[in-house]
Amino acid sequence: ARLVAAPDCGMKYLARGVAFAKLRALVEGARLVAGR
């Protein structure tokens, strides 16, 4: 199965640091699910 990590809309309304932190958390979650 293929896992696609896609952020929801609304990121443009966040401060840049907050948006990057959310993206990092999304990637880390995808890695956990993928077993890496």
- The answer to pTM > 0.75 is no
Tokens of 18: 């907050």
10-35 burial by CB neighbour count: b if 16+ within 10 A, else e?
A: eeeeeeeeeeeeeeeeeeeeeeeeee
Which pLDDT tens digits describe the chain residue by residue (36 residues)? 788 888 877 888 999 999 999 999 999 999 999 887
Per-residue pLDDT, 10: 84
DSSP 8: P
